[in-house]
Amino acid sequence: MDIKLAVLIDGDNIPSAYVKEMMEEIAKYGNPTIKRIYGDWTKPHLNKWKNLLLENAITPIQQYAYTVGKNATDSAMIIDAMDILYSEKVDGFCLVSSDSDFTRLATRLREAGMKVYGIGEKKTPNPFIVACDKFIYIEILKNQREERPLESSTAPTSPKSDYDTITQKEINFIATTIDDVADDDGWAFLGDVGSLLQKKQPNFDSRNYGFQKLTPLINSISAFETERREDSKGRSKLIYVKLKEDQPKRKKR
């Protein structure tokens, strides 16, 4: 059963262009039963949001900027989040902002047992990213819309693409994570690998590198090999991964 999510959007800090894709992404993780966006709606820079609110059933919350240099929107979001937390109407939160001011809020919500998903631009400071259970970059959603139908196993080659290039640092990170959950023969269930990657680095996402799933990303890296196995009931194929024999072995900690 889907968990109930409260979606709180920092209208001053998030572009409106990809709200449809953003809501589709959020629906993958739960049912957004509360959807609110915060900002000073008397300001012209929020005009682009107005037509999108009715289409996506998002409730605008007016917050005047009482003092120059102070972000009243942040305060209103934080107060509402705590009110929603204590109402016990939801199981998790989606905080949509690129602002590190929400780092403590994300931490507090997780301390209370809430699932916390973050959505923001790649400029988002790392403290906010790691305070969430999972963090999704808006740029991913932009790429998905521009490149449909999507490639299933290869990275895009368009020079206009702003996907990240996977480096040796990321490869080592994946290899170490495989080693953490591998059996004595070096094989690890890819589902366990994906879960641990997410826990270690909340913004790790195969889509950052142009792949819709972890499996094609792994298959694109020559250092790894995969194997499909039937589950105990023979109803589905499970994917396992290991470091190739010719790769340097990592010591078990």
Distance CA 249, CA 38 (A): 51
> Is 230 inside any structural domain?
yes
> Is 151 inside any structural domain?
no
Each of the 253 residues of the chain gets a pLDDT tens digit; together they read 579 999 999 988 888 888 989 999 999 999 999 999 998 888 888 888 888 898 899 999 988 765 544 466 788 899 999 999 999 999 999 999 999 999 999 999 999 999 999 999 999 999 999 999 999 999 998 777 666 544 444 444 443 456 888 999 999 999 999 999 999 999 999 999 999 999 999 999 999 999 999 999 999 999 999 999 887 776 678 999 999 987 665 555 4
> Is 136 inside any structural domain?
yes
> Is 154 inside any structural domain?
no
pLDDT value, residue 17: 85
Residue 142 and residue 177 in one domain: no
Residue 186 and residue 64 in one domain: no
Contacts of 17 (CB under 8 A, 6+ apart): 48, 142
Q: What total of structural domains would you count in the chain?
A: 2
Q: Which domain holds residue 47?
A: 4-146
Residue 113 and residue 172 in one domain: no
pLDDT value, residue 79: 94
Residue 188 and residue 85 in one domain: no
Residue 218 and residue 132 in one domain: no
Residue 219 and residue 96 in one domain: no
Residue 225 and residue 178 in one domain: yes
> Is 236 inside any structural domain?
yes
Q: At what angle do helices 190-200 and 168-181 cross, to 10 degrees?
A: 120
Residue 25 and residue 98 in one domain: yes
Q: The tokens of 134 are what?
A: 């999972």
Q: Choose one of 116, 146, 176: the last residue of a domain.
A: 146
8 bridge partner residues: 36, 95
| Peptide bond before residue 149 is cis, with ω within 30 degrees of 0 | yes
Query: Tell me, what DSSP letter sits at residue 245?
Result: T
Query: Tell me, what DSSP letter sits at residue 239?
Result: E
Contacts of 87 (CB under 8 A, 6+ apart): none
CATH of the domain at 131: 3.40.50.1010
pLDDT value, residue 156: 47
> Is 70 inside any structural domain?
yes
Q: The tokens of 58 are what?
A: 């998002």
CA nearest to 207, candidates 140, 121, 107? 140
The β-bridge relationship of strands 4-10 and 59-62 is unpaired
Half-sphere exposure of 233 (CA within 13 A, CB side): 2
